[in-house]
């Protein structure tokens, strides 16, 4: 029973390794898709933030407008009191109270927008940093994979694990050997040709000083002096 349980555990472990290998083989593709999804979500978030900021601008204008109306009506109320018209002054004061109530509501809305905008901006900046970091990681992993692949291909010649590469390498060596053989044959032919024409003997005689190695300025001058003496 103990052996059977161990076998089951080994099978489960093997299945897990196979599953992980499948996932790992697609890891870069999965990460790139996740990055694309994250960038799209970030773009949507920025679009949403733009809408919220636009709405906040509208609320800011309402707050400003209400503040100006309150000041304007306070002036009207003072003028009514100066004229002794208490009823008109009270009516204006009631209107000011409505403005102030609406102002309080709009200020609350604006404060809510301010908090939300600050929070969203912070989240967007963090998301941008995370995406950039993931982009860098994927770039490093892809570059490392390419370097390792190049290294594996280059070292396969010495490991004997790549029969096609070994075959190509052997072919290259044979080509180089044939080229060297042709060069040796050409050199031998030239040497033989020189022997047949006595070039090699002439070279040896000249080097030994037995035969004239060619005209020189001194030999020509000596010859001319002799010709002059004879004339």
Find out whether 46 and 127 touch, Cβ atoms under 8 Å.
Answer: no
Instruction: Tell me how far apart the alpha carbons of residues 165 and 150 are, in angstroms, rounded to a whole number.
Output: 13
pLDDT at 225: 74
Q: Give pLDDT, residue 186.
A: 84
pLDDT at 13: 57
HEC assignment per residue over the chain: CHHHHHHHHHHHHHHHHHHHHHHHHCHHHHHHHHHHHHHHHHHHHHHHHHHHHHHHHHHHHHHHHHHHHHHHHHHHHHHHHHCCCHHHHHHHHHHHHHHHHHHHHHHHHHHHHHHHHHHHHHHHHHHHHHHHHHHHHHHHHHHHHHHHHHHHHHHHHHHCCCHHHHHHHHHHHHHHHHHHHHHHHHHHHHHHHHHHCCHHHHHHHHHHCCCCCCCCHHHHHHHHHHHHHHC
Predicted TM-score of the model (pTM): 0.53
Q: How far apart are CA 150 and CA 128, in angstroms?
A: 33
Contact 131, 42 (CB under 8 A): yes
Q: Which residue has the tokens 């290294």?
A: 151
Q: Taking the mean position of all CA atoms in its chain, how far away is CA 101?
A: 56
Q: Which of 142, 114, 116 is nearest to 45 (CA)?
A: 116
Which pLDDT value is given to residue 67? 95
Domain positions in the chain are: 26-142, 163-209
Question: If you ran DSSP here, which 8-state letter would residue 161 be given?
Answer: -
What gap in Å lies between CA 58 and CA 192, rounded to an integer? 103
Q: Which of 138, 139, 164 is nearest to 153 (CA)?
A: 164
Question: Would you give per-residue pLDDT tens digits along the chain (231 residues)?
Answer: 555 555 556 555 555 666 666 766 677 888 888 889 999 999 999 999 999 999 999 999 999 999 999 999 999 999 999 999 999 999 999 999 999 999 999 999 999 999 999 999 999 999 999 999 989 988 888 888 888 888 877 776 555 555 666 677 778 788 888 888 888 888 888 777 766 665 666 666 666 666 565 555 666 677 777 777 776
Q: What's residue 39's pLDDT?
A: 92
Q: What is the pLDDT of residue 187?
A: 84
Token pair 């994979």 is at which residue?
145
pLDDT at 90: 94
């Amino acid at each position: 029973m103990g052996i059977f349980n161990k076998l089951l555990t080994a099978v489960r472990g093997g299945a897990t390794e196979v599953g992980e290998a499948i996932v790992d083989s697609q890891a870069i593709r999965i990460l790139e898709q996740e990055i694309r999804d994250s960038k799209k979500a970030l773009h949507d978030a920025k679009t949403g933030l733009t809408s919220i900021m636009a709405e906040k601008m509208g609320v800011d204008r309402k707050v400003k407008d209400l503040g100006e109306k309150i000041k304007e009506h306070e002036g009207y109320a003072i003028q009514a009191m100066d004229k002794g018209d208490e009823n008109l002054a009270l009516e204006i004061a009631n209107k000011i109270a409505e403005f102030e109530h609406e102002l309080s509501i709009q200020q609350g809305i604006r404060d809510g927008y301010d908090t939300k905008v600050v929070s969203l901006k912070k989240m967007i900046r963090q998301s941008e940093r995370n995406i950039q970091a993931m982009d860098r990681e994927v770039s490093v992993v892809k570059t490392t994979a390419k370097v390792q692949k190049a290294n594996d291909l280059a070292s396969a010649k010495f490991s004997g694990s790549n029969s096609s590469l070994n075959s190509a390498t052997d072919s290259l060596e044979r080509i180089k050997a044939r080229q060297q053989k042709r060069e040796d044959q050409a050199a031998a032919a030239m040497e033989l040709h020189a022997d047949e024409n006595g070039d090699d003997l002439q070279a040896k005689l000249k080097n030994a000083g037995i035969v004239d190695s060619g005209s020189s300025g001194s030999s020509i001058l000596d010859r001319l002096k002799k010709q002059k003496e004879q004339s």
